[in-house]
């Protein structure tokens, strides 16, 4: 068992969740209720990582973050080190390939909040901010939790994008999925098996949690 890889994967997943979920709420809420020109394109763009092969996405991110790229050079100028093959580069890639897993459940959850309930809050004198905290967010919470679980589990297991953008640097970019591949290459089936079993268990718990939460939410609203 590669404990360093496990710890790195957990750290990456935690950072991804912490940064992506507030963003998903900020984007998913207006996507649920507002109508604007080009909304279809925005929705499609967010869904894109679901259908693009991970290596293809990884390739483009590598090009976008690498030497000579605008983002890569800007990062190098400000931070003093390159973005690709670092944890920070991996995190940025992780935020991008997790977009649909975070935004879509949140958007669906806000869509399910009836317009009349929000209007009732306004007519009860609640400010927009208080309506959000006291009414909208609690009602959308099952979707937010789904987004957290899916993003976390997906980050733990992502392989293609991570390998392309991060490579296989122990302690910096070698996640669990990479470590499993690495162990299999070295004919260390025992270590690979242990780590694979852990990810399998994690995935199972994540899916179980999502189903349990959505069932509970459905019962709470009749």
Partner 1 sequence: MTELTASLAQDAPIPLSAELRCGPGEVLALVGPSGAGKTTVLRCIAGLEHPATGRVGLGDRVWLDTTSGVDLKPQQRAVGFVFQDYALFPNLTALGNVAIAVPSGNAETVARELLERVNLKGLETRRPHQLSGGQRQRVALARALARDPRVLLLDEPFSAVDQVTRRRLHRELLALRQSLEMPVVLVTHNLDEAALLADRIAIMQRGETLQTDTPANLMTRPASAQVARLLDLRNIHAARVLEHDARAGVTRIEWRGRVLEAGLAEAFPVGQEVDWVIPPARVLMHRRDRPSRGERENSLTGRVVSCVAHGTNVHADILLEGDGEADVVTMHIPIHAAERNDLGADTEIGLSLVGEAIHLMSPFA
Q: Is 91 in the site for partner 1 (CB under 8 A)?
A: no
End-to-end CA distance of the chain: 46
Decide: helix, strand or coil at residue 4: helix
Q: Is 14 in the site for partner 1 (CB under 8 A)?
A: no
Near partner 1 by CB under 8 A: residue from 135, 145, 177, 206 = 135
Near partner 1 by CB under 8 A: residue from 67, 211, 216, 221 = 221
The set of residues, in sequence order, having a beta carbon less than 8 Å from that of 42 and lying 6+ positions away, is: 31
Q: Is 119 in the site for partner 1 (CB under 8 A)?
A: yes
User: Do the Cβ atoms of 106 and 25 come closer than 8 Å?
Assistant: yes
Near partner 1 by CB under 8 A: residue from 13, 25, 31, 121 = 121
Q: Is 139 in the site for partner 1 (CB under 8 A)?
A: yes
Binding residues for partner 1, rule CB under 8 A, total 19
Rounded-to-integer distance, Cα 204 and Cα 102, Å: 18
Q: Is 51 in the site for partner 1 (CB under 8 A)?
A: no
**114: alpha, beta or left? (left if phi > 0; alpha if psi -120 to 50):** beta
Near partner 1 by CB under 8 A: residue from 50, 79, 117, 205 = 117
Count of residues for the chain? 222
Interacting residues with partner 1 (CB under 8 A):
114, 116-117, 119-127, 134-135, 138-139, 220-222
């Amino acid at each position: 068992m590669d404990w360093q890889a496990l710890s790195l994967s957990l750290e990456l997943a935690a950072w991804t969740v912490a940064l992506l979920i507030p963003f998903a709420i900020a984007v998913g809420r207006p996507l649920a209720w507002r109508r604007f020109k080009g909304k279809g394109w925005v929705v499609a763009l967010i869904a894109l990582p679901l259908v693009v092969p991970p290596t293809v996405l990884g390739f483009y991110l590598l090009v976008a973050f690498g030497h000579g790229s605008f983002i890569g050079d800007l990062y190098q100028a400000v931070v003093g080190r390159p973005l690709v093959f670092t944890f920070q580069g991996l995190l940025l890639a992780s935020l991008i390939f997790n977009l649909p897993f975070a935004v879509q459940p949140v958007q669906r959850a806000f869509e399910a909040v009836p317009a009349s309930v929000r209007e009732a809050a306004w007519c009860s004198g609640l400010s927009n901010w208080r309506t959000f905290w006291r009414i909208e967010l609690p009602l959308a919470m099952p979707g937010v939790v789904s987004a957290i679980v899916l993003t976390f589990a997906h980050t733990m297991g992502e392989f293609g994008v991570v390998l392309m953008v991060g490579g296989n640097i122990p302690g910096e970019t070698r996640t669990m999925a990479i470590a499993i591949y690495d162990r299999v290459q070295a004919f260390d089936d025992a270590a690979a098996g242990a780590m694979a079993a852990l990810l399998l268990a994690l995935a199972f718990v994540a899916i179980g949690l999502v189903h349990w939460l959505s069932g509970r939410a459905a019962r709470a609203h009749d």
